[in-house]
Structure 1
C-alpha cells in the first residue's frame, strides 16, 4: 500500500513496484484518513478491507499525517503487525528519529532522480519480499 498525497509521487512509486521482480497488487491512499479507512474498514468494527504486506507511508500529508497514521497502526491490535516504511521527501533528523520511535521499520528519503527512486523502491522490495520473513496474519 502506498500512502502519499502527491499523485505524481504515488504513481512513480507504483510504476517502480510494477517494474520490480516481485508481482504486487498496489493499493493507494491519498491521505492518512483514506489509508486508515482502507485498513480498518469504513466504520469502527467493520471488517478490514485491506491487509497489505507492506505500507509505504509519506509523512507530510493533509488531514492526517504519516506519523499519526503510524501511531494508529501501532496502537491497533489488528494492524500493529503491518510493516511500515516511511517514504518521504523529508530528510530531517527529527522526522527520522520520530518515525523510528513511533514504530516504523524503515525510513527512506525519496531520491529526486528517477533512476535512484526506482533503485530505492526495488531495494525495499528485495528486503521485505526476499530477505526478511514476515508473519502471516
Structure 2
C-alpha cells in the first residue's frame, strides 16, 4: 500500500493480480488500474513531486501511471528480476532497485539516466539531499541503499 503526496489516494497491490486498486479517501470511490503486466506486482511508490505512481513487477517490468491524466507508460524488461524497492526524489526522478543487484535512476517517463551494480540484494532505497552552503545554487541528490 502507498498513499499519494496529499494523502487523498491509497494505492493497493495484490500479489495475485496485475491490477492496482485506488481508493479515493475524499469521495470514498474505489477504482482499478489495469497495468497490462502479465506477471505479479511487487512494488508501488507515489511520486513526491507529482501524481505519478510507479508499479514494479516480479519479472522486472515497470508501469508509470499518471493519476492526473490517467495515462500509463509501460516499460517491459526495466530490470532482469523482481523490482524490490522504489523511491522518487523531489525533482521527480525514480530510483529502482532489483533482485538483479542493480539500481537504476530514471526520468519521470521511465528513461534510464544512470545505473549502478550492487554486490548483494537491496532491501530498501531512499533519496537524500546533501547539505550545502547557502551560496550553492545547484541541485544534488544522493541515493542510499540498504543491503
Q: Greater share of strand residues, 1 or 2? A: 2
Q: Greater share of helix residues, 1 or 2? A: 1
Larger Rg: 2
TM-score normalised over the length of structure 1: 0.29
Bigger relative contact order, structure 1 or 2, given CA contacts below 8 A and separation 6+? 1
